Amino acid sequence: MATELYCWRCDKVLPMLDDDEWARMGPVLSQAWSRIKRHCRQHRVGPHEAMQVAGRDAFDFYERLTGYRETSFEAIWHHQASRYGPPCARCGKPLRTPQAKLCAACGHPRALAPG
């Protein structure tokens, strides 16, 4: 089930896909991206316009998985929970990556595991 996490790029809390959901979403995104590129070439339109037409399946599938209607095709690519680190001990926002040594939001160092 999608987990609500703060997204650095979107600057808000959004549903993030777990790895099982991402395994299903990834192919849908890849197929949609191919359709978007083809739509741009065939109709001589920009990617934003093509996404609204050729990317609709990806938006619909993401909404079925999360209950949230995403409007940015690119945003779905980074809405995968495992791309983020644990929550900051001070501010609670997720670290930007699992390897992050400090919180980008508040500068607090990552809590080290005991041992």
Verify that 55 and 91 share a domain, yes or no: no
Say yes or no to pLDDT of 115 above 60. Answer: no
Using alpha carbons, list the distances in angstroms from residue 27 to 23, 77, 101: 7, 11, 32
Is the confidence at residue 57, as pLDDT, over 80?
Answer: yes
- Report how far residue 115's alpha carbon sits from residue 98's, in angstroms, rounded to the nearest whole number: 19
**What is the mean predicted confidence (pLDDT) over 63-88?**
93
pLDDT band at 107 (very low <50, low <70, confident <90, very high): very high
Same domain? 38 vs 75: yes
Tell me what the mean pLDDT of segment 17-42 comes to. 93
Predicted TM-score (pTM) of this structure: 0.82
Are 38 and 71 members of one domain? Answer: yes
What is the rounded average pLDDT of the residues 52-60? Answer: 87
What residue numbers bound the domain in which 111 lies? Answer: 87-115
Residues 75 and 102 reside in one and the same domain: no
48: CB partners within 8 A, 6+ apart: none
CA count, 13 A, side-chain hemisphere, 50: 17
6 neighbors 13 (Cβ within 8 angstroms): yes
Average of per-residue pLDDT across 11-39 = 94
**pLDDT of 72 above 90:** no
The count of domains in the chain is 2
Q: Under a CB-based contact definition with an 8 Å cutoff, are residues 93 and 110 in contact? A: no
